[in-house]
Structure 1
C-alpha cells in the first residue's frame, strides 16, 4: 500500500507527528486504538471522517518505519 497518499508529516500540523491527511488524527492514535482492542469498525463508528484505507495506511506506515529501524 502506498500510505503516502493518506499520511502526512507537516511541522505545522500536530507538531510534525505523522497524521492522516485532512484530519487532526495522529497515526499513533490509530495504532493505539487498534492495540487497545478496538476493531476497524469501532474506529470508523467513532471517527466517521476516517476510511478503512486510512486505517490500513497507518498500519503500513508503522510497518515500514519498523523495517527501517536499525537495532544494535
Structure 2
C-alpha cells in the first residue's frame, strides 16, 4: 500500500509506535486529533512539518491495522 510508505516503526522513536516519516508524531496522535474533531488544516497548523499526505497515511494505517494483517513497514 503506497500510503504506508510514510509510516515508520523505529524502537528508538516514540517507543517503537508507528510514526509519521520517522518524526515524533505517532499515528495514534493524528487519529486521536481527528476523532476529537480536529480538522486536517488544524492538525497541519499544530504540526507545520507535517504534510496533508501524512494525515491520509495515518488514516490508511489505522484502517489497515483494524483488519489485523501484518505487513512489514520501512524503518526510519
TM over 0.5: yes
Q: How many aligned positions are there?
A: 69
Alpha-carbon deviation of 1:48? Answer: 0.7
Q: Structure 2: which 5+ residue stretches go unaligned?
A: 70-76
1:1-72 matches, cutoff 5 A: 2-68=2-68
| Cα pair 2:44 2:51 within 8 Å, conserved | yes
Cα displacement string for residues 21-48 of structure 1 (whole angstroms, at most 9, x for unaligned residues): 1411000000000000000011011111
| TM-score normalised by the chain length of structure 2 | 0.83
| TM-score normalised by the chain length of structure 1 | 0.88
Q: Structure 1: which 5+ residue stretches go unaligned?
A: none
The alignment's C-alpha RMSD in Å is: 1.3
Q: Which of the pair has more CA radius of gyration?
A: 1
Moved over 6 A (4+): none
Which fold has the larger relative contact order, with Cα–Cα distance below 8 Å and residues 6 or more apart in sequence?
2
Distance in 1, Cα, partners of 2:22 & 2:12: 13
